Amino acid sequence: MRKTILTFLTAHVLLTAGGSLGAQETFARWSFDHVTNSAALEEFTRQSDRIVGFYDPAPGVSSGAIQLDGYTSFLERAKFGQDLPRQFTINAWVALESYPWFRSPVFDLRRAEKQGVILGVNRSGKLAAAFGQPDTWVEMEGPLLPLKQWLMLTLVVDSDRTAEMYLNGQPAARSNVASLLGSTADYKLTIGRNAILEKWPDYQYVATNNFAFLDGRLDEVAVFGAALSAAEIQKLYDRRLPLPKVNSPPRVLPTGPSGPAEFGANYTRLSYT
């Protein structure tokens, strides 16, 4: 009980000092300002979560961020350790370098394919979210996300009532159905990759046992134990303005020498043994 009270008080003090969201309780926050030995500090439980794969430190919206490679890197926690309340908000800053082959979560807290909550980007490059239980699974889709610029992605869930997604502080999608999650304490958490192996239908075939990785930068991932209002979400966005530019080298296909090239053929005899 003492630990719970102290965590709440710390959340209250930091939020009122840093962004004045009032008494909204923060369940978890990864600022990525403190990454040591391939582990990121979660600042409210003081737990260090492992970062797997190849990643790089990068400038973020406030201080430090991490650059994920889109193939190997993600943050993981075997068990989330807390039950999300009936009302909660997930907020994250992301700067995409490319779009994923399949839906790639920014935040994924699940126990099964359709049991838990996801916030991320789908294979069309659009803002996406999904949550609920196997028999009440809800999926949402928002607008196309631009590449190489900082974006604030937000999912607000008021269980049994509504769910809303926001992009850069503005409403992006709404569902009039919001399923209850149940206990999430033993759900697996991943940031930057799906939490479980999944089957992904493609246009020509079905990929089984697939992981989808996020390609880009991540910063300031937070979970609030309340359904933040539109004004509070706008304030979260405004406090980071002006946003820094994302300076990353362009990705181009390899090319040969410039200018016209000769066309011809060479004949030779190969020695076989």
Q: What is the DSSP letter of 213?
A: B
* Average model confidence (pLDDT) across the chain: 87
Split at pLDDT 50, 70, 90, the class of 25 is: confident
133 token code pair: 């239980």
Tell me the β-bridge partners of 121.
104, 127
Q: What is the structure's pLDDT at 16?
A: 40
Whether the pLDDT of residue 3 is over 70: the answer is: no
Gap between the Cα atoms of 197 and 98, Å rounded: 21
What percentage of the chain carries pLDDT values higher than 90? 64
Split at pLDDT 50, 70, 90, the class of 2 is: very low
The helix/strand/coil state of 205 is coil
Pick the CATH number of 25-238 from 3.30.70.20, 2.60.120.200, 2.40.50.140, 3.40.50.11540: 2.60.120.200
Split at pLDDT 50, 70, 90, the class of 24 is: low
Q: What is the structure's pLDDT at 236?
A: 95
pLDDT tens for residues 181-195?
889 999 999 999 999
Gap between the Cα atoms of 198 and 192, Å rounded: 15
Q: What is the structure's pLDDT at 195?
A: 94
Q: What is the structure's pLDDT at 7?
A: 40
Q: What is the structure's pLDDT at 273?
A: 63
Whether the pLDDT of residue 76 is over 60: the answer is: yes
Q: What is the DSSP pairing of strand 87-96 with strand 104-112?
A: unpaired
Split at pLDDT 50, 70, 90, the class of 9 is: very low
Domain boundaries, the chain: 25-238
pLDDT tens for residues 90-144?
999 999 999 998 899 999 999 998 999 999 999 999 999 999 988 889 999 999 9
pLDDT tens for residues 41-58?
999 889 999 999 999 999
Q: 121 or 14: which carries more pLDDT confidence?
A: 121
Whether the pLDDT of residue 255 is over 80: the answer is: no
Whether the pLDDT of residue 201 is over 80: the answer is: no
CA-to-CA separations, 243 to 39, 63, 169, 247, in angstroms, rounded: 26, 12, 13, 12
155 token code pair: 């999912």
